Amino acid sequence: MILTVTLNAALDITYRVPRLRPHATNRITEVSERPGGKGLNVARVLAALGHRTVATGFVGGGTGEALRALLAETAVTDALVPVGGATRRTIAVADTATGDTTQLNEPGPVVTPAEWDTFLGTYRELLGEAQAVALCGSLPPGVPVDVYARLTRAARSAGVPVLLDTSGEPLRRGLAARPDLAKPNADELAALTGSTEPLRAARDARRRGAHAVAASLGPAGILAVTAGGAWQAAPPRRIAGNPTGAGDSAVAGLLSGLVEELSWPDRLTRAVALSAATVRAPAAGEFDTATYEELLPRVVVTDHPTAA
């Protein structure tokens, strides 16, 4: 079983408009709702790949009820912990003329100490049967900033590999707990290290504690720096569409590859193909199967053997 943690889950709402016009009335042509937050997106992709997946984190209020109802329609097992506050909403406005997306994210519910203790008990219990765990996304109000470091140490004590996908201070502190893999994007990596050169920044991030770092570079693919070497994988062509959730699909590719004991080049190939195929999908947490199957044998992997 693969466990995903989404402390700041969301009800993802996507509006499609013919052309987004600021300061004007925009008529929506299509509305879709999905269970969201980075870890839930990862869980849905993992389940689509055939992995038994359990999702935990916090959920509450009317939006939380709607999220759980939608999650029940998927193959993901719901182990979310109820809270008194309401689950946040994220609003994506997709401009079908340009392909651009505007994102609006609410902050999330305040988590009380008692609710946090309940979650910790659930998390430790689930670790007992997990093959790997993904710790993903932002933190809701009331959760300590070093939470991912705590959860990483708990997983490592249980012998469970950890993938960390967050940003800012939670990422910095989480790295010090030595996760098996950190997966920042280029901006998050630059903010962490002060370097805009991806290879140098990834090496710096790895020195801060992560056993391996896989950095999402947008259309340029993914760069991984590990103890055994470094590789960059890129799609054979630029894929047009909505990039929301592409990084989450990359996490699913990397985590499934870890569980299946694939080589690093094969993990990166899968992650890049899934990420690109998500750009062609209607919403985060999904990928276009035809695009994925087309790209999988065509992803280009470059070896940087002296970079680790």
- pLDDT at residue 218 greater than cutoff 90: no
Kindly report, residue by residue over 177-188, the tens digit of the pLDDT: 999 999 999 999
- pLDDT at residue 212 greater than cutoff 80: yes
Assess whether 100 carries a catalytic annotation: no
pLDDT of residue 305: 58
What would the two tokens of residue 28 be? 């929506």
* Residues 18 and 29: beta-carbon distance below 8 Å: yes
Kindly report, residue by residue over 69-96, the tens digit of the pLDDT: 999 999 999 999 999 999 999 988 888 8
- Provide the pLDDT confidence category of residue 306 given band limits of 50, 70 and 90: low
Report the Cα 185 to chain-centroid distance in Å: 10
Kindly report, residue by residue over 147-160, the tens digit of the pLDDT: 999 999 999 999 99
- pLDDT at residue 307 greater than cutoff 60: no
The amino acid sitting at 10 is A
Taking the CA atoms of the chain, what radius of gyration do you get in angstroms? 18
Contacts of 73 (CB under 8 A, 6+ apart): none
- pLDDT at residue 283 greater than cutoff 90: no
- Provide the pLDDT confidence category of residue 308 given band limits of 50, 70 and 90: very low
- pLDDT at residue 145 greater than cutoff 70: yes
What would the two tokens of residue 259 be? 């569980």
pLDDT of residue 42: 96
Angle 221-274-283 from CA coordinates, rounded to 5°: 110
- pLDDT at residue 249 greater than cutoff 50: yes
What would the two tokens of residue 113 be? 């100490």
Mean pLDDT of the chain: 92
- Provide the pLDDT confidence category of residue 280 given band limits of 50, 70 and 90: confident
Assign residue 277 a region (left: φ > 0; alpha: ψ between -120 and 50; beta: otherwise).
alpha
Kindly report, residue by residue over 53-74, the tens digit of the pLDDT: 999 999 999 999 999 999 999 9
Give me the sign of the Cα torsion angle 294, 222, 268, 41: negative
User: Among the options 78, 248, 288, 303, which is catalytic?
Assistant: 248
* Residues 233 and 300: beta-carbon distance below 8 Å: yes
What would the two tokens of residue 217 be? 């570079």
Cα–Cα distance between 106 and 244 in angstroms, integer?
Answer: 16
Average pLDDT over residues 159-171: 97
